[in-house]
């Protein structure tokens, strides 16, 4: 048995034996004290922070080995929080590992990886600002003596309430040695220029800290707060966004597997019209289609993760395809599970209705599926035209590059 197989089995046992009994009632949020207790137990069990380098207290897995573990964690809506691989912290940890300075890692990544603090990522803005189109970014960062002044209004900032710091995307003008573009900043929530706004009440409940508005009002930060190089924020965003949308697929696929398990238990133990439900053609069709959705999603996640590990540019493009496919497929699996379970499926006697509430926003979060389809189509058309012009027409390359 490989090391990854052993970790997967340990994670599976931990989720089923420790995490599932601690789940809140459908529609309720995880109590922070319960979260802390589960994280301590995950550290003891050796399953904590699978994606984080060992020098920061994690399991040290490369991205192409994340999926089996993240799926096991996602079998419970609170499993990723217990293992400290939940959005938005997981994506922020990954980016901080790759581009933060040693001083920034010590100040922000170390406590974040340990589960001592939470974080958020502030890019989305009210219309007509950045949303599915990051280039519409309106929040501004202006150079001042010794640092920067950030001003702007962000919304739908997942995890912001209670976060210790924010990674902020802001547009910057060209200045000495800095190109016009966007810059990322590490901003402490205690900064007097940061104001937490009203919460946006959404159908999902799994992300700690909700999805509130956040205001940056003449927020002053030092030069040391710049994450990476100034003016390069849009490029750095891809370092975070492509893996982050893929890990959403991994976690929610785990939840879809649990939904199908619930439906299978129902089909295996109930009779309808004198026959076992599992023997009825209509039920078999629902089950078969769900198995197909699970396996195709698993395959595309694996391909995308391998690409991100070997060819990040191609992996980023493929992550759009994975996001669209998985968000649709996962929703279908849970919806079919509800249909198989009938009236109980839409009640709080089973958790399926809440699962549907959790996964439905994924077709909008991390860029709407329609925006991703637009990008997928443009890449395919452009790639095909180039391949034909070059005399080497290969559709597979046209689709992902």
Candidates 68, 81, 74, 70; CA nearest to 34 is 81
Q: Would you state the pLDDT for residue 399?
A: 54
* pLDDT tens profile 203-225: 999 999 999 999 999 999 999 99
H-type alpha helices, 100-232: 102-104, 110-113
Q: Would you state the pLDDT for residue 26?
A: 84
Q: Would you state the pLDDT for residue 392?
A: 73
Longest dimension (CA), the chain: 80
3-class DSSP string for 93-132: HHHHHHHCCHHHHHHHHHHHHCCCCCEEEECCCCCCCCCC
Distance CA 141, CA 162 (A): 24
Q: Would you state the pLDDT for residue 398?
A: 47
Is the pTM here over 0.75, yes or no? yes
For 242, 321, 376, the CA distances from 317, given in Å and listed in that order, are 8, 7, 8
- What domains lie within the chain, and their CATH numbers? 3-86 (1.10.540.10), 119-230 (2.40.110.10), 234-400 (1.20.140.10)
* pLDDT tens profile 276-301: 999 999 999 999 999 999 999 999 99
Token pair belonging to 32: 């922070």
Distance CA 71, CA 66 (A): 8
Q: What is the mean pLDDT of each run of 10 residues along the chain (401 residues)?
A: 95 98 91 97 98 97 98 98 98 97 98 98 96 92 96 98 98 92 98 97 93 98 97 92 96 98 97 92 97 98 97 95 98 98 96 97 95 96 91 61 53
Q: Would you state the pLDDT for residue 211?
A: 96
Q: Are 80 and 14 in contact (CB under 8 A)?
A: no
Which residues, including other chains, have CB under 8 Å from residue 316's CB and lie 6 or more apart? 238, 241, 242, 308
Candidates 266, 112, 273, 99; CA nearest to 184 is 99
Q: Would you state the pLDDT for residue 275?
A: 92
């Amino acid at each position: 048995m490989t090391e990854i197989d052993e970790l997967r089995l340990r994670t599976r046992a931990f989720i089923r034996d420790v995490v599932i009994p601690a789940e809140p009632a459908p529609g309720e949020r995880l109590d922070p004290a319960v979260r802390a207790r589960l994280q301590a137990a995950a550290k003891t069990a050796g399953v904590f922070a699978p994606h984080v380098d060992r020098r920061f207290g994690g399991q040290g897995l490369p991205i192409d080995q994340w999926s089996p573990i993240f799926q096991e964690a996602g079998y419970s809506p609170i499993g990723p929080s217990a293992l400290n691989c939940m959005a938005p912290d997981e994506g922020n940890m990954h980016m901080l590992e790759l581009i933060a300075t040693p001083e920034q890692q010590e100040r922000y990544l170390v406590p974040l990886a340990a589960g001592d603090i939470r974080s958020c990522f502030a890019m989305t803005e009210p219309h007509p600002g950045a949303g599915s189109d990051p280039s519409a970014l309106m929040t501004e960062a202006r150079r001042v003596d010794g640092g920067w002044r950030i001003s702007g209004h962000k919304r739908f900032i997942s995890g912001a309430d209670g976060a210790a710091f924010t990674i902020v995307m802001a547009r910057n003008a060209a200045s000495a040695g800095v190109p016009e573009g966007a810059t990322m900043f590490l901003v402490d929530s205690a900064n007097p220029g940061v104001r937490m706004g009203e919460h946006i009440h959404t159908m999902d409940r799994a992300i700690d800290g909700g999805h509130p508005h956040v205001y940056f009002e003449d927020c002053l930060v030092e030069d040391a707060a710049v994450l990476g190089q100034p003016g390069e924020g849009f490029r750095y965003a891809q370092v975070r966004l492509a893996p982050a949308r893929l890990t959403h697929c991994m976690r929610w696929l785990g939840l879809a597997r649990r939904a199908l398990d619930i439906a299978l238990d129902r089909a295996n133990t109930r009779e309808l019209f004198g026959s076992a439900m599992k023997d009825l053609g209509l039920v078999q069709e629902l089950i078969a289609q769900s198995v197909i959705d699970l396996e195709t999603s698993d395959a595309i996640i694996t391909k995308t993760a391998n690409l991100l590990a070997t060819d990040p540019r191609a992996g980023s493009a493929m992550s759009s395809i994975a996001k669209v496919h998985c968000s649709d497929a996962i929703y279908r699996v849970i919806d079919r599970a509800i249909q198989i379970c009938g009236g109980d499926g839409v009640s709080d006697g089973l958790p399926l209705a809440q699962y549907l509430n959790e996964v439905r926003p994924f077709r909008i979060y991390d860029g709407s599926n329609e925006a991703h389809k637009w990008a997928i189509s443009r890449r395919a058309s452009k790639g095909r035209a180039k391949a034909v012009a070059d005399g080497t027409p290969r559709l597979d390359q046209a689709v992902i590059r």
